[in-house]
Amino acid sequence: MKHAKQPNTKTAAAPALPPEVRPGQSIELLKELHILTRDAKLNQDSRRKLKQVYHLVNFIEPLLNDVRAEKGSVSLVDHGAGKSYLGFILYDLFFKSLEDASHIYGIETREELVAKSTELAARLGFTNMSFLPLSVAESTTSNRLPETIDVVTALHACNTATDDAIDFALKKKAKHMVLVPCCQAEVATVLRKNKGKDLGKSALTEIWRHPIHTREFGSQVTNVLRCLQLEAHGYGVTVTELVGWEHSMKNELIVATYKNLPRRRPSERLQEVLSTLGLEEMGQRFYTSHVERAKSQADPEAVTQDD
């Protein structure tokens, strides 16, 4: 006598997650960001993106803890947020477990990305996360943001958008900045424009005589000027690489923390670099007037004391 076939009561086991996925992370979020595929796998491009964002999170998390220890909560603005990889993963790994007023703001000009991020945050229950359709410059004066912000990030903000993010952070009295500059053309354009009259002044002009050197040197000088600008406002600055060169050529990571440091020497060096390279007209871009105002408002010892 044949026995009736018993129904299969076993359910398929959930696919094993890649080792890069951290405990407690939202799998739905990683799929929505197209970091994980539908079957919870990582392709090579997604693995590269995730490694880069994790590396940046490792730099940012101690800064968030520093502010929370001091104030009880922390606010962060992410400029040029795009699809908000950084903001969402930061929220998922750090902010979602907090029971305070901590908040992330994503600033992005493309309204379709702002709408999509807003919808995703609501669906995931990320209640202390907001997205605003603004340029970096517009956000500086927008009444939709608090008067002060604790941490400012700008990941691959192109050309002068990084300078706008610095201006935003200075005006919002940010304690910490985390910047990964991207394509930078403005200083190179001025170097190129003045090349003819400057070539005979010094052998240093050989550094940017050839067009490819003008571009690369202009990019390097831009970040040097940014670091001096931040130091002239009392920040301690660390410059390192974000990830290995095999992952990104736009690799420089600038981390600035306000410490009310001496400001005279970096301010003078900033002016000297501008003058030496024939970049005096860039003074406004690097806010020499703001530097002078910061010096006048600072503690006298912090202004007059040399490094």
Q: What is the pLDDT of residue 290?
A: 47
pLDDT for 298 beyond 70 = no
Q: What is the pLDDT of residue 117?
A: 97
Report how far residue 65's alpha carbon sits from residue 87's, in angstroms, rounded to the nearest whole number. Answer: 16
**Percentage above 70 pLDDT, the chain:** 83
Across 182-186, 260-264, 302-306, the highest mean pLDDT is recorded for 260-264
Within a domain: residue 7?
A: no
Ramachandran sector of residue 86 (left: φ over 0; alpha: ψ -120 to 50; beta: rest): alpha
144 against 9, higher pLDDT: 144
Average pLDDT value over all residues in the chain: 84
The lowest-confidence range among 30-39, 258-267, 280-289 is 280-289
Residue 201 CA, distance from chain mean position? 37
Within a domain: residue 290?
A: yes
Within a domain: residue 303?
A: no
Sequence-distant (≥ 6) Cβ neighbours of residue 170 within 8 angstroms? 233, 287, 290, 294
Q: What is the pLDDT of residue 233?
A: 95
Within a domain: residue 152?
A: yes
pLDDT tens-digit readout, 203-249:
778 888 898 998 899 889 999 999 999 999 999 999 998 765 444 45
Number of domains the chain is built from: 1
243 against 73, higher pLDDT: 73
Find the domain containing 263 and state its range. Answer: 44-298
Categorize the per-residue pLDDT at 105 as very low, low, confident or very high, splitting at 50, 70 and 90.
Answer: very high
Q: What is the pLDDT of residue 12?
A: 52
Domain containing 217 — which CATH number? 3.40.50.150
Within a domain: residue 11?
A: no
Within a domain: residue 34?
A: no
Q: What is the pLDDT of residue 46?
A: 81
Categorize the per-residue pLDDT at 126 as very low, low, confident or very high, splitting at 50, 70 and 90.
Answer: very high
The lowest-confidence range among 35-44, 49-58, 283-292 is 283-292
Within a domain: residue 22?
A: no
pLDDT for 305 beyond 50 = no
252 against 1, higher pLDDT: 252
Q: What is the pLDDT of residue 203?
A: 79
pLDDT for 10 beyond 80 = no
pLDDT for 97 beyond 90 = yes
**Percentage above 90 pLDDT, the chain:** 51
Categorize the per-residue pLDDT at 288 as very low, low, confident or very high, splitting at 50, 70 and 90.
Answer: low
Within a domain: residue 31?
A: no
Categorize the per-residue pLDDT at 281 as very low, low, confident or very high, splitting at 50, 70 and 90.
Answer: confident
pLDDT for 179 beyond 70 = yes
Q: What is the pLDDT of residue 264?
A: 92
